[in-house]
């Protein structure tokens, strides 16, 4: 991978275990600190901690973020394709794009958290069927963006999360501007080789795709190594009730040292 992009720091402000007034304050503070991207996640219940703790819905929350911020990009890490009609997803994304003046990132994936499906009445299916549904949805979303009036203010960046070599990476090659994975080391090397092959098949340059990964329990040495492998978007997850920003500030300093 050619390293032509600056390092960016994203914070996933997990919408769990906190009052919305606290989330609102942290969004404003994180933008002021200079975070590049803010993410939430698309679930209906906490993923860890008290399973029935405080939790908020992703897309309505993002509309609030779009209004209260002026610089930072934002989106879901990631949207669950199963929960909304693809054309509706496209329209929601276009609307957030306009509210924010062109700062929305459409992060999406096939879904996995079975409790969401069971309690909200969605068919869970299988990992394969959910990926097939995502493959069917992405062209519809792209087509709907071309039909909407007014159209999006820019080509909305598509982030696809996941690392399956047989299906997910094919979707990344065809549709994604950003690939978010958890792979590092030799696993990442292998998956990048697979992705490069899929890109060649569809006539894309793999260097068009920004690589995104997690900073969860990572050291500076780990991040330096990931940077050498071509990763430029690093995401740190923080959770309520207080959302401690100490580590975020440390990673922002590392970013600045990398971008020189």
Could you read off the pLDDT of 243-252 as tens digits, one per residue? 999 999 999 9
Which has the closest alpha carbon to 131: 185, 170, 84?
170
pLDDT at 260: 86
With residue 221 as reference, give the H or E element that holds it. helix 220-228
Contacts of residue 244, Cβ cutoff 8 Å, sequence gap at least 6: 238
The predicted-structure confidence for 96-153, as pLDDT tens digits, reads as follows: 999 999 999 999 999 999 999 999 999 999 999 999 999 999 999 999 999 999 999 9
pLDDT at 184: 86
CB atoms within 10 A of CB 175: 19
pLDDT at 1: 54
**Cα–Cα dist 73/231, whole Å:** 18
pLDDT profile of the chain (260 residues), mean per 10: 82 98 98 98 98 98 98 98 98 98 98 98 97 98 98 98 94 98 91 96 96 93 93 97 97 96
**Cα–Cα dist 104/208, whole Å:** 18
Task: Give the global pTM.
Answer: 0.96
pLDDT at 4: 78
Contacts of residue 219, Cβ cutoff 8 Å, sequence gap at least 6: none
pLDDT at 205: 95
Partnered with residue 105 across adjacent β-strands are 75
Which has the closest alpha carbon to 84: 20, 133, 143, 46?
133
């Amino acid at each position: 991978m050619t390293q032509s992009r600056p390092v960016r720091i994203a914070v996933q402000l997990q919408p769990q275990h906190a009052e919305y007034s606290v989330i609102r304050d942290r969004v404003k503070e994180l933008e002021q600190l200079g975070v590049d991207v803010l993410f939430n996640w698309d679930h209906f219940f906490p993923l860890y901690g008290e399973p029935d703790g405080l939790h908020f819905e992703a897309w309505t929350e993002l509309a609030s973020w779009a209004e209260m911020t002026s610089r930072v990009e934002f989106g879901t890490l990631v949207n669950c394709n199963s929960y909304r009609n693809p054309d509706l997803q496209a329209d929601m994304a276009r609307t957030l794009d306009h509210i924010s003046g062109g700062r929305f990132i459409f992060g999406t994936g096939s879904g996995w958290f079975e409790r969401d499906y069971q309690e909200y009445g969605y068919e869970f299916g299988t990992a394969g069927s959910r990926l097939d549904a995502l493959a069917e949805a992405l062209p519809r979303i792209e087509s709907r963006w071309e039909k909407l009036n007014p159209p999006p203010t820019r080509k909305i960046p598509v982030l696809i999360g996941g690392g399956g070599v047989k299906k997910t990476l094919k979707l990344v090659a065809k549709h994604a501007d950003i690939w978010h994975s958890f792979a590092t080391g030799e696993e990442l090397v292998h998956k990048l080789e697979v992705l490069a092959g899929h890109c060649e098949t569809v006539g894309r340059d793999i260097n068009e795709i920004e690589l995104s990964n997690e900073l969860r329990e990572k050291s500076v040495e780990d991040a330096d190594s990931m940077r050498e492998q071509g990763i430029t978007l690093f995401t740190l997850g923080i959770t309520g009730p207080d959302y401690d920003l100490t580590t975020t500030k440390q990673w922002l300093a590392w970013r600045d040292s990398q971008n020189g």
